[in-house]
Amino acid sequence: MRIALIAHDGKKPEMVRFVLQNKDQLQQASLFATGTTGSHIEQAGIHVIRLLSGPQGGDAQIAAMVATGELDLVFFFRDPLEKHPHEPDVQMLMRLCDVHNVPL
């Protein structure tokens, strides 16, 4: 299983709790994450391939992986109360997950 993990800054603590609660299952998968999210996952003791940070294009990189069939699942811990400069990339990612039937 190839899984991407993304978390907005306000949701990173929640994402870390999720990762720790599901550590055994996640360690069996190939994990990918946006840059800062990936550093939090690494600090939890789990190997992850880190891409660019979200605002620098990491969300777009994950969207491209969805479009090319390189991901099976995306966990996105979104913070709907904050404004994000890379929101168009987030919308593209959500759309591509829908188009390619990748659970988000």
Give the DSSP per-residue string, 36-53. Answer: HHHHHHHHTT---EE---
Its pTM stands at: 0.91
Q: What is the pLDDT of residue 79?
A: 83
| 60-83 per-residue burial string, b: 16 or more CB within 10 A, e: under 16 | bbbbbbbbeeebeebbbbeeeeee
pLDDT at 86 > cutoff 90: no
Bridge partner list, 74? 4
Using alpha carbons, select from 60, 52, 54, 65 the residue that is nearest to residue 3. Answer: 65
pLDDT band at 87 (very low <50, low <70, confident <90, very high): confident
At residue 85, the pLDDT reads 64
Q: Is the pLDDT of residue 17 over 80?
A: yes
- Active-site hit among 59, 79, 89, 98: 59
pLDDT for the residue 83? 67
Which domains, ranges and CATH numbers included, belong to the chain? 2-99 (3.40.50.1380)
Name the nearest CA neighbour of 76 among 85, 67, 87.
Answer: 87
Q: Predicted confidence band at 54 (pLDDT cuts at 50, 70, 90)?
A: confident
Per-residue pLDDT averaged across 20-35, rounded? 95
Active site residue 89: no
Three-state DSSP state, 27 = coil
